[in-house]
Structure 1
């Protein structure tokens, strides 16, 4: 009796072992969705591959369906440093992303994948802006007067020659004209640098404001719009001024802009405030996007639709929708701004 029982037990154990080690199909994982409506995202651009955004914890994302779905890009090194700006060459494939700790990444496929080319793990200064010059060189600027130039697609970076008066001022944005011949760099304490030779040399514009400027826009008439803290917007009729203050009915800080096909200028900033000008930036009317966030960038798509990025994620935007009524009271000041400077 013992022999049949022993054989039966042995057979059952063998079958159990075979079942345990037998190959089996893995059930599909549930689809996950990136929480782009809850991330801090600082920059939003279009490339040949689609839409590309970046921000907190080194997140670099792309969408190939006009923002409906987002995918995390492949990044060679996970640094979790804040991404501040993404910029692409005219071909829409070659681009650079810059961020904190002197982080620089390069893409050659429109933002689907990124390779780290610079990172300063100890005492690295934030890089705030990056741009490609008509010569093919890339320049990047950031905190404490840091300014770099690369003539070999980012493989090597050397100091960018700037006037000594820049000192240790934070530089927030590099902006070029549509023909690529005229450029501005704007920053804290009213810093404005100008180049009239496609970014090869830079000169200091006499200060016309003592606070931080966060961005600028080249106007069709050859002038500029520069803007920043507490609703301070300035316009010039030429490269070197004079500069005059625009009419802005709210003391909100503004960080980015877009221009509609019919020439309207839209600024976005703190407190979900949006400011629109139909007269070249001399006067602005106000509306507000959803929530009470700091709007960091906006991207208009064909047909007047687009997206807004913010410290609370992405939201859809329509330039053709009826604007909300004007804001009745000034928006509160943010507890922190993209760079420091004298508050004016």
Structure 2
């Protein structure tokens, strides 16, 4: 299962109420590959990208893209593959699925009444997976997505809210559960290293889980801004990135800041190889970490880079203006 995720933070949480007609089919647009795309996966020789208005695109060479028919107009924020099965999630708590490598898609779940977007999805095998989103929204399936069950994780509460919520729980259990659904932080990104889960979210939330997300332990940090990705990279470094150019590395049981040289928000962390990691962000930001060396540059058009995969010495990224590619050791095209 590929480990890659991202978020275009300034856009995703604002228009969650706009895409209310999630049961309609996506519109086949001739310039879909140049529109807002929010995640990309590489599976079995094909690339699949997802984005606004229910767009799902598929390509063999990352140059020619085919837009697929999708049974939703909801903006799709993330996609994940396990074997030949795929799942994409998005606004209106929408989940669509494919059982043929991303060629055809079916609506699996949606709950527009929640008024919460799903922001990431991750499957451990063809049956067991989780989907996460705004205000602590957490769904789990153990049958490939045929049924999804909600979970509440109060252990992810901001430490400043714990005492208030404990008192509320003792006074009024029903109101406690209602309040919990509005006070939990946004869950932006989840990643899996094969044994441990990592979670990045709002208000300084970084957490880990040793039991596939049934319970979580916060990884405390002296920072209260939002994080949009956390990854154990191919070089063995556990990195977290988020608002205002903030990048941290987990060392000796603590988070240490890495000077990025920018205040642009970072959206995703991408392993190039066992020595090099890219961190992509708004305004075309590209931070390259190679050992202890840190290099920063921007794309010529300054458009937000949101997610990427690396294949055959190329970086294939999705952005606010569609797909972008460049040599993994070279300059942006």
TM-score in terms of structure 2 length: 0.78
Aligned to 1:313: 322
Give the aligned length: 281
2:75 to 64, 69, 82: 82
Q: 1:98 aligns with which of 89, 104, 117?
A: 89
Match of 2:289 among 277, 289, 294: 277
Structure 1 stretch 42-51 or stretch 215-224: which is displaced more? 215-224
Displacement, 1:247?
Answer: 1.6
5+ residue gaps, structure 2, are 1-27, 158-182
User: Aligned in 2, Cα 1:278/1:223: closer, same or farther, shift over 3 Å?
Assistant: closer
Q: By how many angstroms is 1:322 displaced?
A: 5.3
Partner Cα separation in structure 2 for residue 220 and residue 299 of structure 1: 13
Change (3 A) 1:232 1:143: same
- Shift in Å, 1:74: 2.9
When residues 223 and 262 of structure 1 are mapped into structure 2, their CA distance, relative to the original with a 3 A threshold, is closer
Of 264, 268, 273, 1:261 maps to 273
Matched, 1:70 2:65: yes
**Distance of aligned partners of 1:200 and 1:71 in 2 relative to their CA distance in 1, 3 Å threshold:** same
Q: What is the alpha-carbon distance in structure 2 between the residues aligned to residue 113 and residue 135 of structure 1?
A: 17
Q: How does 1:90-239 map to 2 (within 5 A)?
A: 91=83, 93-133=84-124, 136-166=127-157, 167-177=183-193, 180-219=194-233, 223-237=237-251
Rounded to whole Å, the distance in 2 between the matches of 1:134 and 1:154 is: 11
Instruction: Give, in whole Å, the separation in 1 of the partners of 2:102 and 2:126.
Output: 22
SS at match of 1:74: coil
The verdict on how the C-alpha distance between 1:40 and 1:220 changes in structure 2, with shifts beyond 3 A counting, is closer
| Aligned-residue offset at 1:301 | 1.1
**Cα distance between partner residues in 2 of 1:312 and 1:323:** 14
Q: Distance in 2 between the 1:310 and 1:35 partners?
A: 14
Query: Over residues 230-285 of structure 1, what are the superposed CA-to-partner deviations in whole Å (9 max), with x where a residue is unaligned?
Result: 111011136xx311101211111111122123520011110011010012xx5521
| Inter-partner Cα distance in structure 1 for 2:73 and 2:190 | 24
| Equivalent residue in structure 1 for 2:254, among 237, 242, 246 | 242
Distance 1:275 1:142 in 2: 26
Matched position secondary structure for 2:309: strand
Q: What whole-Å deviation, never above 9, does each CA across 1:54-76 have from its counterpart, x for those lacking one?
A: 10101011112x1221112232x
Q: Residue 271 of structure 1 contacts residue 294 of structure 1 at CA under 8 Å; is this kept in 2?
A: yes
SS at match of 1:190: coil
Shift in alpha-carbon separation, 1:56–1:221, aligned structure 2, 3 A: closer
The structure richer in helix per residue is 2
Distance 1:174-1:100 versus aligned 2 partners, 3 A rule: same
Which is higher, the Rg of structure 1 or of structure 2? 1
**Separation in structure 2 between the aligned mates of residue 219 and residue 85 of structure 1, nearest angstrom:** 19
Aligned-partner SS, 2:283: helix
Q: Secondary structure at the match of 1:181?
A: coil
Report the RMSD for the aligned CA atoms in angstroms.
2.2
**Alignment-derived partner of residue 58 in structure 1:** 54
| Aligned-residue offset at 1:122 | 3.1
Residue deviations 1:170-228 (CA, integer Å, cap 9, x gap): 01000111xx1011111000011211234443222224320000001114575510010
Find the aligned partners of 1:290 and 1:109 in 2 and give their Cα distance.
Answer: 37
TM-score (norm 1): 0.76
